Structure 1
Amino acid sequence: MTAPVTRGPATPAIRLGLRANLAQFSLLVVVNALVGGMLGQERTVLPLLADETFHLNAYSASLTYILAFGATKAVTNFFAGTWSDRYGRKPVLVAGWLIALPVPALLAWGPSWGWIVFANVLLGVNQGLTWSTTVIMKIDLVGPERRGLAMGFNEAAGYVAVAATAMATGAIASHAGLRPEPFLLGAAYAALGLGLSTLAVRETREHARAEAAAHPPSADPDHHADLTTGQIAKRTSLTDKALSSASWAGMVNNANDALAWGVFPLLFKSHGLSVAQIGVLAAVYPAVWGAGQMLTGWWSDHIGRKHLITAGMLLQAAAIALVAAGTTFWVWVIAQVLLGAGTALVYPTLLAVIGDVAHPAWRARAVGVYRLWRDGGFAVGALLAGAVADIWSVEAAVWTVAVLTALAGLVVAVRMYETHPPR
């Protein structure tokens, strides 16, 4: 609800809720769209750049940029949560945008593959700081009743921007070449994101403190407000069945996203598709994923989280298997639509699970641990897909990730408890 929480005679009342904080919430949606656009500038162009410009023949070598991105982002996510609690959300957000500034130039003019990998290290830090912080800030603002909806809007903005930028850079590359023109979009995104975050975004840490002050005490000692970071990490990673199942599902989800990012374009190219067609396929998946989250996040607030996550993981597995079995553009379009729909069921719902279970006093750190595992999936997916593709074939790599995704869905079905019972 939007009832005020009084903090003291000298401090204005803080109101939780989407309606009460609509202006700042909407601004953060725009900022996260720019965060997604920074990632989208790579989705079509970089796999082709590895093949055509830098002539990397081994799949494991060509996927090093995803490995660098995923490992860096995963670690940065963890620190983003801790730093957001210690220093505030806004300084972490601004720092993330400052680190983003050189990335488009490195991608556009880097003289060797090592420069591209370094750009993705910086991009991982940028994404870890900015995306984690926009997630935390939106959860701060909306309070406990609309977390699924808030995460739906957050993730929708980011991944619709990924899709739009992937399609735009594919179209630019088909006319102007792979470098430098496609990456000029990223330069504009970084400048605009830094400006908005510095000048217009307001701190939200006091909203979390207000919610924590009104939070009912728990009989479970593991849910108290004063857990250490180590205890939070253990609970989120291992001991709490909902938090740890969400972390596992998130890691597998991003392992299959690494496959879609780094391997699918090469598979499509091997069957004779043009750069423009590959750009369309690279955009369809995150477009359906992004737009669908506005529905699925809201839906999870009404029917619960667990069954949506289970269904989404199994649908992703079926879609990835269809990619492996397919050989034509339109079959792959259908597969990408299904993969996007499955991911839309999962992505905001997993974040909502973390928000449901974690105490407001340590929620930012729990989000950081979850995102450590989730975005570690990029590194896992790059290593696994690259190794299997080099040893056997691209198709074998795709089938392997399909099986892993199905297993993750079964783990959620068996192990996770419902964290937001239907109304």
Structure 2
Amino acid sequence: MEKVKLGLKENWKQFALLVIVNAFVGGMIGLERAIFPQFAELEFGVASKTAILSFITAFGITKAIANYYTGRLANKFGRKNLLLFGWLIAIPIPFMLIYAPSWSFVIFANVLLGVSQGLTWSSTVVMKIDIVGEKDRGFAMGLNEFAGYFAVGVVAFLTGLIANKYGITPYPFYLGIFISIVGFILTAVWVKDTRIFVHKESSTDKTAKLDNIFLETTFKNKTLSSVTQAGLVNNLNDGMIWGLLPIILLSLNYNNENIGIITAIYPTVWGIGQLFTGKMSDHYSKKAMLFWGMLLQGLSILLIPFSSDFYVLAAISAILGLGTALVYPTFLSTIAQATNPSQRAESIGSFRLWRDLGYAFGAIISGIIADLFGVEYAIFLIGGLTIISSLIIKFRMPEQIKTIKECIEVDEVKQAFKNNK
């Protein structure tokens, strides 16, 4: 135990490997980011917005459930084993998309993708938090989410480019075969489990344990529940953007290459921005970053129906990415700071359960509203909900997030002052 040292510098090799692994994890989502609405319509004749967005619903629900159980089982089975199992599930997915005989089969492939993403992404998040310690936690989350979402953007752009040149299928999905196999090999050969770091930190950490991790994270604890609702709304609007933005761009007669560029800007800015916002969350008000990030997202979404120019839409996509970059690493570093190390994985799992259910809620709500009233009304609704979420952060979440350890230190200082007096 005494040889185990927490910290980014002390564990930089393993940390860098986990960053690379999470880039491959993100790349698996990027496969579907730009081309799936066209894939649904051209290959399977699926025209309904609700039906098209059903693949996001399937993905969101299964990823959310996998997130929760990854958090609960991380201490029992080990982070590496769950990560490896997630990659094993990912390998058949691109083959299933290439040879899918029906849209239902595509939905099933997305069920597997959701399970795989929940296991792999949650494991890399928890493992990085385990090894870096409290000092660089936000920076660590920034690097993790940067790698994942930058890869989403890059692969989304590449699939749009490939689809424009060679067609919607099968060539774009060949990327997925490469990504899943390399991700599995990297994990199996070089990644090490990190449970020993949790034992090390738990021996000195005095943060009070939660009575009921799920209920506290979801409803009761003002800090944790404020973050959880914002995470849900963040992915609710992301689910809408994922499904409806390519449809809007198609209606404006953009080709696959330009659709790929605009849809890629958002996750790319989101990804790169986290290199800076993750570090910021270690030093600046987490509450302020969450409020402004959600507000920026909401305002940029409301502007989409009023725009048709390529450069204006590209700028909106960039602003949306910036808003998301402000909140994404801050969500995780806030929860990590507010929970005991032994309960951290499960609290993060509970948060990620609700956050990724946002994909499903976003796809269902925006799909139904788009079919009934039009795409613009779906966008207005989701944008409005995002702004409401920012106000919940502002008025419900405490300004200072203090661990019990910090409170004890303050009490000790007060007692010493009284004794000296």
Q: TM-score range by the shorter chain?
A: over 0.9
How far does residue 419 in structure 1 lie from its aligned partner after superposition?
4.9
Contact 1:250-1:350 at 8 Å conserved across structures: yes
1:75 lines up with 2:65 in the alignment = yes
1:249 lines up with 2:230 in the alignment = yes
* Structure 2 residue aligned with 1:27: 17
* Structure 2 residue aligned with 1:42: 32
Q: Distance in 2 between matches of 1:317 and 1:295?
A: 21
* Structure 2 segments unaligned to the other structure (5+ residues): 403-421
Question: What letter matches 2:126 in structure 1?
Answer: I
* Structure 2 residue aligned with 1:127: 117
1:340 lines up with 2:321 in the alignment = yes
Q: Distance in 1 between matches of 2:166 and 2:101?
A: 19
Q: Which of 169, 181, 192 is the matching residue for 1:179?
A: 169
* Structure 2 residue aligned with 1:4: none
How far does residue 420 in structure 1 lie from its aligned partner after superposition?
4.9
User: Cα deviation per residue 1:325-351 (whole Å; 9 max; x = unaligned)?
Assistant: 112211110110000000000100011
Q: Which of 258, 262, 277 is the matching residue for 2:239?
A: 258
Q: Which of 195, 199, 203 is the matching residue for 2:193?
A: 203
1:103 lines up with 2:93 in the alignment = yes
1:357 lines up with 2:338 in the alignment = yes
How far does residue 162 in structure 1 lie from its aligned partner after superposition?
0.2
User: What is the SS of the residue equivalent to 1:396?
Assistant: helix
Contact 1:47-1:265 at 8 Å conserved across structures: yes
Question: What letter matches 1:204 in structure 2?
Answer: T
Q: Distance in 2 between matches of 1:109 and 1:257?
A: 28
Q: Which of 215, 218, 237 is the matching residue for 2:205?
A: 215
1:59 lines up with 2:40 in the alignment = no
How far does residue 418 in structure 1 lie from its aligned partner after superposition?
3.5
Contact 1:301-1:420 at 8 Å conserved across structures: no
User: Cα deviation per residue 1:117-155 (whole Å; 9 max; x = unaligned)?
Assistant: 011000000100000000000000100111110000000
* Structure 1 residue aligned with 2:160: 170
TM-score normalised by length of structure 2: 0.94
Q: Distance in 1 between matches of 2:252 and 2:377?
A: 16
**Which range moves more in the overlay, 156-165 or 319-328?**
319-328
Q: Distance in 1 between matches of 2:31 and 2:154?
A: 9
Q: Distance in 1 between matches of 2:155 and 2:217?
A: 33
Q: Distance in 1 between matches of 2:268 and 2:129?
A: 23
* Structure 2 residue aligned with 1:306: 287
Q: Distance in 1 between matches of 2:393 and 2:75?
A: 29
Question: What letter matches 1:236 in structure 2?
Answer: T
Contact 2:338-2:401 at 8 Å conserved across structures: no
Q: Distance in 2 between matches of 1:197 and 1:417?
A: 39
User: Cα deviation per residue 1:277-310 (whole Å; 9 max; x = unaligned)?
Assistant: 1000110000000000010010111112110000
* Structure 2 residue aligned with 1:3: none
How far does residue 109 in structure 1 lie from its aligned partner after superposition?
1.6
Question: What letter matches 1:367 in structure 2?
Answer: I
Q: Distance in 1 between matches of 2:321 and 2:342?
A: 33
User: Cα deviation per residue 1:224-246 (whole Å; 9 max; x = unaligned)?
Assistant: 2xx56xx1001000110110011
User: What is the SS of the residue equivalent to 1:361?
Assistant: helix
Q: Distance in 2 between matches of 1:109 and 1:266?
A: 24
User: What is the SS of the residue equivalent to 2:65?
Assistant: helix
Q: Distance in 1 between matches of 2:64 and 2:400?
A: 24
Q: Which of 149, 159, 168 is the matching residue for 2:139?
A: 149
* Structure 1 segments unaligned to the other structure (5+ residues): 1-6
How far does residue 58 in structure 1 lie from its aligned partner after superposition?
1.2
Q: Distance in 1 between matches of 2:399 and 2:68?
A: 25
Q: Distance in 1 between matches of 2:181 and 2:399?
A: 41
1:84 lines up with 2:65 in the alignment = no
User: Cα deviation per residue 1:33-89 (whole Å; 9 max; x = unaligned)?
Assistant: 000000001101111111222221211111110000000000010000111111111
Q: Distance in 2 between matches of 1:335 and 1:55?
A: 30
1:291 lines up with 2:272 in the alignment = yes
* Structure 2 residue aligned with 1:158: 148
Question: What letter matches 1:50 in structure 2?
Answer: A
**Which range moves more in the overlay, 276-285 or 45-54?**
45-54
Question: What letter matches 1:294 in structure 2?
Answer: L
Identity of aligned residues (%): 45
Alignment RMSD (CA, Å):
1.0
Q: Distance in 1 between matches of 2:400 and 2:65?
A: 26
**Which range moves more in the overlay, 411-420 or 265-274?**
411-420
1:192 lines up with 2:173 in the alignment = no
User: Cα deviation per residue 1:215-261 (whole Å; 9 max; x = unaligned)?
Assistant: 12x5xxxx22xx56xx1001000110110011100000001111111
